[in-house]
Amino acid sequence: MFVDVKIHGKPIHTMIDTGATHNYLVSAEVERLGLVLEKGVGRVRTINSAAQPIAGVAKAVLIKVSGPIPSVIKKLLKEFEDVTPNELPRKLPPKRAVDHKIELVPGTKPPARAPYRMSQPELVELRKQLK
């Protein structure tokens, strides 16, 4: 997803992968943003290029997402405003005896389906743990 963000108070239009452990920038942007890098190890490969060495890692970088909220999101928030809080909680709720459960209909049997396939190392580990 491409977004407009600010890093060290400087604007940048960049791609952020919310499901990834890291996000990557070209060296010129790292310098422009004044990021301090620690030595990087390894290579990164994108879909349309050869593997490139990682020049460094910038840790604990605060990224501020900016820009207008799309109208479709505004509409969705308006539609569900009765069940969404005005402000998100600052911390997780306290630990409970049961955080979540799914109650099954009594007497229900599991679906007759083959188990998912495991790789050979996974299967060896599973057998080891079950002994």
Residue at 102 is within a domain: no
Residue at 93 is within a domain: no
CA-angle at 88, arms to 87 and 90, nearest 5°: 115
Residue at 26 is within a domain: yes
Residue at 94 is within a domain: no
Residue at 103 is within a domain: no
Contact status, residue 43 vs residue 61, Cβ threshold 8 Å: no
Tell me the per-residue pLDDT of 1-31, one tens digit each, with 9 for 90 and over: 788 888 888 888 888 887 788 888 888 988 9
Q: What is the total count of domains within the chain? A: 1
Is the pLDDT at 106 greater than 90? The verdict is yes
For residue 96, with 0-12 CB atoms within 10 Å meaning exposed, 13-18 middle and 19 or more buried, which class applies?
exposed
Q: In angstroms, rounded to a whole number, what is the distance separating the alpha carbons of residues 2 and 24?
A: 13
DSSP 25: -
Tell me the per-residue pLDDT of 48-94, one tens digit each, with 9 for 90 and over: 788 888 888 888 888 777 667 789 988 988 999 999 888 878 888 88
Q: Which pLDDT belongs to residue 32?
A: 92
Residue at 14 is within a domain: yes
Residue at 56 is within a domain: yes
| Boundaries of domain holding 7 | 2-79
Is the pLDDT at 98 greater than 80? The verdict is yes
Q: In angstroms, rounded to a whole number, what is the distance separating the alpha carbons of residues 4 and 13?
A: 4
| Signed CA dihedral, 81, 82, 84, 89: sign only | positive
Q: Which pLDDT belongs to residue 5?
A: 84
Q: The pTM is what?
A: 0.45
Residue at 69 is within a domain: yes
